[in-house]
Amino acid sequence: MMLRRSTYMLTTKPRFQGERGERIHKCVAKSLSEAVEIFALMKQLRPDQLLEIYSVYEQPDNGR
């Protein structure tokens, strides 16, 4: 069984409600946790530190 790979985005956390964060990086990973680990390595942070500063989410199939 082959796992589907998805595109994940690393963004800044928005300062105000309703505001979008700034996109910083994107990567292709098998899961959200794998994407967090990849971004943590890129930023030289532990995964928990990364998530305090940034947001990580799966990019929707429509590309937005």
35 within domain boundaries: yes
Quote the tokens at residue 27: 């990567």
The pLDDT of residue 18 is 77
Q: Number of folded domains in the chain?
A: 1
Rounded to an integer, the average pLDDT of 32-46 is: 97
The pLDDT of residue 54 is 95
Quote the tokens at residue 55: 């947001």
pLDDT greater than 70 at residue 63: no
Domain span including residue 11: 6-58
> What gap in Å lies between CA 47 and CA 50, rounded to an integer?
5
Q: Give the global pTM.
A: 0.83
21 within domain boundaries: yes
47 within domain boundaries: yes
1 within domain boundaries: no
The pLDDT of residue 3 is 66
pLDDT greater than 80 at residue 43: yes
**Intra-chain end-to-end CA distance of the chain, in Å:** 28
Residue with tokens 């799966």: 58
Q: Are 45 and 29 in contact (CB under 8 A)?
A: no
